[in-house]
Structures are given as structure tokens and as C-alpha cells.
Structure 1
Amino acid sequence: MKYSLFIGGEWVTGPDQEYFPAVNPYNQEIWAEVPQASENQVIQAIDAARDAFETAWSKTSGLERGRLMNRMADLLEADAQRMAVLETTDNGKVIRETKTQMHMAARAYRFYAGAADKLSGGLFPLDKPNVLDYAKKLPLGVAVLVTAWNSPMALLSNKLAPALAAGCTVVIKPSEHASVTTLEFAKFVEQAGFPKGVVNVVTGDHRVGQWLVNSRRVDKVSFTGSPGVGRKIASDAGRNLTPVTLELGGKSPNIIFESADIDKAVVGALAGIFGATGQTCIAGSRLLVQEPVYDIIVERLVARAKGIVLGNPLDPGTEMGTLANQPQFDRVMGVIRQGAGDGAVLAAGGKRAGGVGLEKGLFIEPTIFRDVENTMTLAREEIFGPVLSIIPFKDEASAIQMANDTDYGLAAGIWTTDLNQALRVSDAVHAGCVWVNTYRASAMQAPFGGFKDSGFGRERSLWALDEYMTYKNVMIDFSGEERDPFAIRG
């Protein structure tokens, strides 16, 4: 399958269009060709979004915006199975998760569709009589949305849904490692009947992102990815004073206290790191376990990890899929080698997975290190793979200190049956998202985002609408009085 760019409501291919391959990480086969956008095509996409904003979308009522978004959600949900197959083929995530994410994405569009006609401002009483003061919420304008390869449709919905509801037009740049479902999604935009240019998709390498972020005709940038790239984007956008939302990485502590329900905590720890093959920013990659239950937790996790079923990600029976691409596979294997060299004890996995049906795939065994110290690379750097570091702690104070001793601040998990402890620790940990007796749960109504190197701004919830809006204040003096500051008064 050879794709085109989606610009100004048209499928665009240049006379000398370059392409790059989409490679299936399960069998290493090239299964699609994705266009590498040129700088001129990026400019065309921005111009199309700008024209659509000024002539159509900013003049479209919230009721109509919501209607179109609901129609788009219907199309996505009706085609969820096919879209899930495409995404699994593109990034190796198991089909049971990609299909769930398609329905979650549809939920996001419906959630924000319901908010599109309720974006009210405010009326403000002033100290002076006979003066009317009110503020209006207005869309920022053209938003650039840059998504990552691990969950393309879910990450896009976190950005696109509030942007459209707020009244922004967009240019989307998906990761070059997983672009296909974003291009397929543009067909739903077309079928739903959005005005041309409201949604544009340009694909390609990092140069495309740079051209977008550095444009003075862009009013907002939202990025999901690594802290390193996030810093570069913030710096580039800052030169134009373009506001930025950054959803970056994590090194999330998942804390098991001796008071925890052990059975539930073990399941939560497994789901927190081996779900999505560990390729998620909220992965509970640092498992902090209180010393009295440390050995039993390690023992149970090792036994369960060895039983996780690896295989074709399109098989519903597969429990863990591949790494998404060769560079990520190589990086994770390098961190595993370094972890063993630093003195952590390898308790499970640690190798490229072999066996029938796994020969060509980018599979890594579910890997567990025990006796990890919080100063080791395993505990400091985001690995983004199926690698769990288990760290012992003595008491609540040391757990909190250890949990917060990181450059990141995205998520945290707390496992305890002591309500007072749950409240104390959830307040004390430096994380934007805290789960108690659960992990990797999400809801469209709940805000999502982090602190420190995990970025700033929030996605999901009604708060996310503010990321794509600005405010205009209007003050009207109807007193009839003359307010001349230069008049001489007796």
C-alpha cells in the first residue's frame, strides 16, 4: 500500500515524492510505503490549516463542530477492528490492546464533542459602577500535533479531540515509525464532512517536525515523545513564543507496602510493566517493595513473567508483542546488558526471545532485575521496554524519598490496604497521575500529564480544552462620564 499526504482536504503526492517503508516488527516485512513530506508540502499544510481556520472553522458553531466529531467517532468505532490490525502491524502492540484503544479514541471524540458548544467565558463585577466587563474563550488558531509510535490513535485523540472542540485547525505529524493509522484516520475526517483544511496530515522524519514547529504561522504545538526532543521543540517554539504542551517520558515508581493485597499488587505490577511490552510513558518500571514482602513479591513476579505468552501480535491469545522498531530493540538490549554489569541481579528474562513463531520478530523476554539500587541506570533512565527493576525499601518515608528521587514525575502506583497511608503517600509523591490499588487505568474525564522531565500541560478532561484556547477581555463603560486623566480639577 502506497499512501499520500492529506493536505487541504486532498490526497497529495508530489512529482518527485519520496517514500519510506513501514516495516512489520513481527516478521520484518515491508507492508506499506509512507510519503516523506517536503518543506514545501509542510508549508502547504500550514497554509491550508490557516485558511480553514480563518474562513471556516472559527466561524463554525460549537454545535456543528460537535456533530462532525461525533460522526468521525462513529466511523472510527465502526472500523475499529481493521484499524487495530493496521496499528498492530505497524508497531507490534497486541491486537487486544490496539482494538481497545480504537474505542477509547472514539470515546475521546464524543467526550469533547459534547463540550464544543459549552465553551463559555465569564462576566466580572468591577469596582466602578456602570462598567460591563466580560471575557470570551477563543481558539488559539493552527495547532501542530506531534505523536509517538507506541499508541498513535490513542495519543492523537488526546490532542485532536480538544483541539477541534476548541475551534482550532490542525496539522498532524505522526512518528515515522508508525504513520499508517494516522493516514487512514484522515479518511474518516474526509468522510465525516469536515471543511477542507481543518485536519491535515504530513508524514516523515524529524525534519518535518522542525519545519512545523519553527513556523511563525503556527499558534500551538502539542508533542508526545522523549524529554530530549521535547526540550528541542520547546526551545524552537519559544523563539516564536508559540505555546507548547509536552507529554514526555516517565520512570514511574510502583510502590508495594507490606499492608498491600499481595495478589492484586502482583497483577498490578505485571500489568504496569509488561502491558504494551513496556512501551508506554506510564510504565511502572521501578517497583518499590517493602522489605517484609520483598522476596515473596519477587518470587511471584518471576513465576508469572516466565508464563507470559509471546507470539504473533495479531493472535488474540498473545499476551506480549514485539518491540516497535529495530532502534528501540537495540536500545533496550543495551540497557539490559548494562544493568547486569552494574550489579543488579537478573531474575528473569534478559535475552532476545526465541521459539516457534518468534524467529523474525523483535521480541525480548519479560525481564526482571532484583536488588536494584535507585542510583543504577536501570532505575534512572526510561527504558521503554519490558524491563522491571525491583528495589527494596524499609519504611514509608524511605519509599517516598526513593520515589521522588528521579528526574521524572509522570505517574506513580501505591498498593496498600491502609487508607491513611494511601492518602499520605499519594499527596507526597511528585507525580501528575497517582493510582492506588490499580495501575495503567485511564478515563477521559481525568486530567493526564506530569511534572519535571515528564513535561507540562494536561491532556484529557475538560482542562485540556484550555491548552488550545486563549481569552479576550472586553470592558464597556456605559456611565456616560468623562474620564479625562489630563483634566484639571478644582
Structure 2
Amino acid sequence: MVQTPGQARRSLPDFATGQAKRLLINGVWVEAGSGETIESVDPATGAPLAPLALAGAADVDLAVAAARRALEGDWGAFRPADRARVLSRLADLIEDRAEEFAAIDAVDMGAPIMTARWMASNAVSTFRYAAGQALTIHGDTIEHSQTRSMFAYSLKEPVGVVGSIIPWNGPLFAAAWKLAPALAAGCTVVLKPAEQAALTPLLLGELCIEAGLPPGTVNVVTGDGVAGAALTEHRGVDKIAFTGSTATGRRVIKGSAGTIKRLTLELGGKSPHIVFADADLDRAAQAAAMGAFTLSGQVCAAGTRLYVERDVCDEFTERVARITRSLRVGDPLDDQTVLGPLVSREQFDRVSAYVKTGSEQGASAISGDLPKAQEQFGDGFFVPPTLFTGVTDEMTIAQEEIFGPVLSAIPFDGVDDVLTKANNTPYGLAAGVWTQDVSRALEMTRGLRAGMVFVNNYGASDPAVPFGGYKMSGYGRENGRAAIEAYLETKSVWMEAAS
């Protein structure tokens, strides 16, 4: 099903249009030092939105300096209860404007409005969780193991100034996942959004000021890889928290090596979604489709390798195909849209090339007609949800992260076979398992080399539950207590009586 953007389309949110957006540095909105801008584009139509300031190394210097002053000044003086109060206030402000945030993400990066509303709700929950966690940070008292004359204890202190670099596939909630734990821990932040979708992080910066964060506590610098590299290499930055591709993650590691920064990296994935013959096939089919195609497949944890037990593979794959063909593709501002456009022309070309490669290597697309979609949507960056059968594990579409609405169905024979296939990847972000056999489910969760395993569901999320991967999917965790700990240093104190 399709609905072409422009047909009875809702008006664009004011924040997504108009004058060029500025940088937020030390609580003030300023032009980039160069005066240059880059264009933000509506991916549903290819039309320009509001220009963004193009930050350079000099702008990053100013933002880092502002963050350092706040850390050593006003924000550093905030006690845990003060931090909890301001984070709760920020959550309330986001909630009050949740519909505006959702509409901006819809036009800026193509998220269907119903998905964008979920992302806004997730951001609210993330800040509220972090507000509670701010009150629980503490060290330990430690009895000396060899003498009674020595008293030892540990302190938890903020790691310092954090450079947070986020992707374009969920700008609001990605910003929340970075800012909330860092602020709960007492750090200050320079946030660098992706140039393809920076509008909601900028609006979030406005609300940070309104919530009562001191100037310089949160700074937002928009720009391209030049700004990201400057932040990664900056001697005044104590930690980099990065979410994005594995290739860029390697560059972050190299760029940070000179100053041996603390790192949290949430990188790519090629997640297996495994369906055994005894599963609830109707529920599993719906989850298989949405696990791969939500946000048009632009999800790091997307279940893009669909492994189905051979006895039911043909039947189950056809069920998924029927669901896939029914998904409404179109204007992301339409409440009925399930799949919107890809974020950019570059991403459209990249995913289109993978679709072509899949066919050239012998796989059969049983849903998705890319040429027809191009005719229907004109200058929009739409790729229809595409399900391939006849896929083998060595094919490109089964090996590489596509980051688009492309799903590969592959049969398997038993637990040992599917564990071998599922783990045969450099990635290890997520995995899904569908079975009614509890013993088999436990065996699979232990055997899968992935940071998250979903059993009889796919893609569940909660601010209290850690999110992250094994292998080349990165290290460190978002969400949960582990995320707060990643922004803390442990200081040991040894105390003995003076005489």
C-alpha cells in the first residue's frame, strides 16, 4: 500500500523550516565561526528544510571549553538531588512537546509519525529513569583485609567532559540515551548530532536551558565529520560516546587513541531472527516483518537474517511476505504510514545497490518493487520492504549490514545448525528466538553470541535494561545501571590515623 507525500499532507512543524539553526555553546545560540551552513532535507520529498550551522574545529574548541567551565563551576556544584530534579523537569518538558518532537523527526529523517511518537515517549522515560539513578550513585566502604588501623572507601565521580556523537536514525531518543546517563553521573556534554537529522537534538538543547541546566552543561554542535573528528581527538574531552556504523567506530577508536579517552561504542549489527517449527507462527511472522522493516530497516538491531526451520520455511516465509505486502508505505506525517523514506539520497543509493546485488547473486525478491516505488514517489527516498528467498549464508545481503528494508530468509536444520549460522558474523548486537520449548530457548540464549536475545518477541526496550553488543557491534552499554557506570570514575581512598 502506498500514499504519495503531498496528498493531503499535514503542514510541517515550524521548527523544521525557516532560518538557519545555530550552535548551542555555553547556553547561547551562535553562528558557526565560518558562517557556513549545510542543508537539512525532507527525505519524503527531497525538498530542503532549515539550514544547519556547519561547525568546525574552532567551534568544537569553544563548546569543550564551555563544558569544562560548567563541570568545574555551576554544574559541578549540583548535588545528586539537584541533578535528579533538573532531569525530571527536562522529561516533563519533552513530554509536553512530544507531538512536536515526533513531527520534526518525521520530516527530518522520515520516521513514520507513530514510530516517532514512540521515540519521544522513550526519551521521556530515559530521562525519568536517569533522574532516579542520579540519587543512587555511591561508592563503598571496604574493610582492610590485613590491618584494623587502615580505613578504605571508594568514591564515584563524573568522568568529566563527554563528547556524544549520535546517528540519524533516531535523533531524539539517541540524544536522550547519551545525555541522560551522562548528566545523572554529573558529567557535561558536547553533543554532535548527525548532519542528516539534527533538528530534534537542537530543540532538546533549548529545553535543557529551560529545564535549568547551567550554561555549558549541554552544548550542541551541528556539522559533518570534521566536527566529529575534532571532538574525538580533543584533549579537553574525557570520554566519547558514539553510536553509528562499525566503519566510523574504527575511526573513533583511532582518533581517541592519542588521548586514551574512555569509549562507549554502539555500532552495527546483522542480527539473526530464528523461528523454530513449534513457534506461534502468526505472532512470529508479524515480529519478523516489523523486526526487519521498522523505521524502513534503519535500525542497528534489525533482525535482517530470518532463519526458519526447514519444515515450515516455505509456509512461514509466505506469511511474512503477505504481511510485508500489506505495509503502508508513504508520507511519514500520515498516521496510517508504517514505512517512510530512507534518510538521504546517499542511503537510498546504498540500499538500492544491495537490492540489485541480491538479485544478481541469485536470491529472489518475493516482495518489494523498487522501480515501481521510484515512479510513485518521485524525488522521495523510498525503498519498499523487500523480502528475499533463495538466500545462502555467503551472499552479500546475508553478510553485510544494509541498514534498509531488506530481509533475507534462510532455512536451517536444528539447534546446532542454526547456532553455527547465526554466530557466523562479525557482529553480535541482537538475536531473536521463537519456540515454545523452554529448554531449547535456554540453550539458544546461551549459545547465541549477542548482547541482547529476544525470546518470543523482537525489539523490546526499557530504560532499565542494558542495550549493546558483542564483537564488532561495539562495547559498553546504553540504558540501565551499566550506562550510568560508564560515565563514572572510581576513586579509592586509604585513610589512617595521623598518629
**TM-score, structure 1 as length reference:** 0.96
Measure how far apart 1:117 and its partner are: 2.1
Give deviations 1:291-323, integer Å, cap 9, x for gaps: 000010111111211111111100001111111
Structure 2: distance between partners of 1:220 and 1:355 = 43
Q: Does 1:121 align with 2:132?
A: no
> Which of 178, 189, 192 is the aligned partner of 2:197?
178
Q: Partner of 1:134: helix, strand, or coil?
A: strand
Structure 1: distance between partners of 2:183 and 2:376 = 43
> Which of 24, 31, 43 is the aligned partner of 2:49?
31
Match in the other structure for 2:76: 58
1:6-85 matches, cutoff 5 A: 6-14=24-32, 16-85=34-103
Residue 14 and residue 449 in structure 1: after superposition, are their counterparts in 2 closer, same or farther (change >3 A)?
A: closer
Match in the other structure for 1:193: 212
What is the alpha-carbon root mean square deviation over aligned residues?
1.2
Q: Is the 8 A contact 2:34 2:56 kept in 1?
A: no
Counterpart of 1:74, as a letter, is D
> Which of 390, 412, 419 is the aligned partner of 2:409?
390
> Which of 472, 485, 491 is the aligned partner of 1:453?
472
User: Structure 1 residues 243-252 or 113-122, which shifts more?
Assistant: 113-122
Residue 129 and residue 15 in structure 1: after superposition, are their counterparts in 2 closer, same or farther (change >3 A)?
A: closer
> Which of 111, 127, 132 is the aligned partner of 2:129?
111
Counterpart of 1:117, as a letter, is L
Measure how far apart 1:38 and its partner are: 2.3
Match in the other structure for 1:483: none
Match in the other structure for 1:407: 426
Match in the other structure for 2:352: 333
Counterpart of 2:175, as a letter, is L
Q: Is the 8 A contact 2:45 2:380 kept in 1?
A: yes
Residue 412 and residue 14 in structure 1: after superposition, are their counterparts in 2 closer, same or farther (change >3 A)?
A: closer
Q: Is the 8 A contact 1:140 1:469 kept in 2?
A: yes
Give deviations 1:221-261, integer Å, cap 9, x for gaps: 00000001001101111221101100001000000001111
Structure 1: distance between partners of 2:59 and 2:254 = 24
Structure 2: distance between partners of 1:270 and 1:252 = 14
Give deviations 1:195-224, integer Å, cap 9, x for gaps: 000000000010000111101110000000
Structure 2: distance between partners of 1:116 and 1:353 = 52
Structure 2: distance between partners of 1:331 and 1:353 = 18
Q: Is the 8 A contact 1:61 1:117 kept in 2?
A: no
Q: Partner of 1:354: helix, strand, or coil?
A: helix
Match in the other structure for 1:206: 225
Structure 1: distance between partners of 2:73 and 2:307 = 55
Q: Does 1:306 align with 2:329?
A: no
Match in the other structure for 1:368: 387
Match in the other structure for 2:496: 477
**TM-score, structure 2 as length reference:** 0.95
Match in the other structure for 1:134: 153
Give deviations 1:330-370, integer Å, cap 9, x for gaps: 00000111111111122221514538963332111110111
Counterpart of 2:432, as a letter, is G
Q: Is the 8 A contact 1:73 1:107 kept in 2?
A: yes
Structure 1: distance between partners of 2:492 and 2:230 = 33
Q: Is the 8 A contact 1:58 1:139 kept in 2?
A: no
Match in the other structure for 2:366: 347
Q: Does 1:242 align with 2:261?
A: yes
Q: Does 1:277 align with 2:304?
A: no
1:316-331 matches, cutoff 5 A: 316-331=335-350
**Sequence identity, in percent?**
39
Counterpart of 2:494, as a letter, is M
Q: Is the 8 A contact 1:130 1:479 kept in 2?
A: no
Residue 310 and residue 348 in structure 1: after superposition, are their counterparts in 2 closer, same or farther (change >3 A)?
A: same
Measure how far apart 1:21 and its partner are: 0.8
Q: Is the 8 A contact 1:352 1:364 kept in 2?
A: no
Q: Partner of 1:316: helix, strand, or coil?
A: coil
Q: Partner of 1:251: helix, strand, or coil?
A: coil
Residue 272 and residue 353 in structure 1: after superposition, are their counterparts in 2 closer, same or farther (change >3 A)?
A: farther
Measure how far apart 1:290 and its partner are: 0.5
Q: Partner of 1:124: helix, strand, or coil?
A: strand
Match in the other structure for 1:286: 305
Residue 16 and residue 450 in structure 1: after superposition, are their counterparts in 2 closer, same or farther (change >3 A)?
A: closer
Q: Is the 8 A contact 1:260 1:415 kept in 2?
A: yes
Structure 1: distance between partners of 2:218 and 2:385 = 39
Match in the other structure for 1:486: none
Greater Rg by CA: 1
Match in the other structure for 1:96: 114
Match in the other structure for 2:15: none
Measure how far apart 1:16 and its partner are: 4.5
Counterpart of 2:172, as a letter, is M
Q: Is the 8 A contact 2:33 2:58 kept in 1?
A: no
Q: Partner of 1:374: helix, strand, or coil?
A: coil
Q: Is the 8 A contact 1:173 1:201 kept in 2?
A: yes
Structure 2: distance between partners of 1:153 and 1:14 = 22
Q: Is the 8 A contact 2:374 2:382 kept in 1?
A: no
Q: Partner of 1:389: helix, strand, or coil?
A: strand
Residue 338 and residue 209 in structure 1: after superposition, are their counterparts in 2 closer, same or farther (change >3 A)?
A: same
Match in the other structure for 2:175: 156
Structure 1: distance between partners of 2:177 and 2:201 = 13
Measure how far apart 1:455 and its partner are: 0.3
Counterpart of 1:25, as a letter, is P
Q: Is the 8 A contact 1:352 1:363 kept in 2?
A: no
Q: Does 1:435 align with 2:454?
A: yes
* Unmatched segments (≥5 aa) in structure 1: 481-490
Give deviations 1:48-86, integer Å, cap 9, x for gaps: 000100112222101001111111111111001011111
Counterpart of 2:181, as a letter, is P
Residue 397 and residue 89 in structure 1: after superposition, are their counterparts in 2 closer, same or farther (change >3 A)?
A: same
Structure 2: distance between partners of 1:232 and 1:29 = 32
Measure how far apart 1:271 and its partner are: 1.0
> Which of 421, 438, 451 is the aligned partner of 2:440?
421
